[in-house]
Amino acid sequence: RKEVEQDPGPFNVPEGATVAFNCTYSNSASQSFFWYRQDCRKEPKLLMSVYSSGNEDGRFTAQLNRASQYISLLIRDSKLSDSATYLCVVWRDTGGFKTIFGAGTRLFVKA
Amino acid sequence: EPEVTQTPSHQVTQMGQEVILRCVPISNHLYFYWYRQILGQKVEFLVSFYNNEISEKSEIFDDQFSVERPDGSNFTLKIRSTKLEDSAMYFCASSPSSYNSPLHFGNGTRLTVT
């Protein structure tokens, strides 16, 4: 089983739509959680950290459910510029520290 | 804003040759990582490094790979004898602390092994 699993996508949505991505992680020792975005052939860039109480940054809302080992990202009022791959990222330290990336969910926002 | 820099941006090498990929992390960062991404595939963890030691490495990071922080600023990834399947984008990343600290990535080095 992969340590971080995501909806594979692609998600094709019109501008203005709300879209949600899900992610599960298998290692209960995971301690920190993030969403990154990656544009084609570019480096991953931090979108937002994910906190236990849930957090919002403008049009983006992230949720964490430690009991279910589940993370989500909600994008409201999608823009063309939101088209990218969204990566669920988990950090853990179980004797050695490691940041693990999910395979990503591809989003296409259409005009 | 400080950034992680990687050189070269593109490296072409022949199978069996050694390559060294270079990274300059952000100056006050203490935790360092290498990742690779084969075209069209996921970002794969290779190795984490702290206090001049490897903290964890993946199954990909076999004896052909090594990392060094030779002078307190550079962080290098060496591949001793490259194989065709080593062709990928290699990303260096750093963070100021470990827990709850996002990674800052360099622009990557595209390695092509012919």
User: Which tokens sit at B73?
Assistant: 């600023």
| Chain A CB within 8 Å of residue B106 CB | yes
Predicted pLDDT at B18: 98
Q: What is the mean pLDDT of each run of 10 residues along chain A (111 residues)?
A: 89 97 92 94 95 93 95 98 97 87 96 95
Q: Return the SS3 of B63.
A: coil
| Chain A CB within 8 Å of residue B34 CB | no
| Chain A CB within 8 Å of residue B49 CB | no
| Chain B CB within 8 Å of residue A9 CB | no
Predicted pLDDT at B101: 87
- Residues B107 and B9: beta-carbon distance below 8 Å: yes
Q: Return the SS3 of B84.
A: helix
Residues of B in contact with A9 (CB under 8 A): none
In total, the C-beta contacts within 8 angstroms joining chain A to chain B are: 65
Closest CA to A3 of A20, A28, A22, A21: A28
Residues of A in contact with B43 (CB under 8 A): 38, 44, 87, 101, 104
Chain A CA closest to residue B99: A32
| pLDDT band for position B55 (cuts 50, 70, 90) | very high
Quote the percentage of chain B above a pLDDT of 70.
100
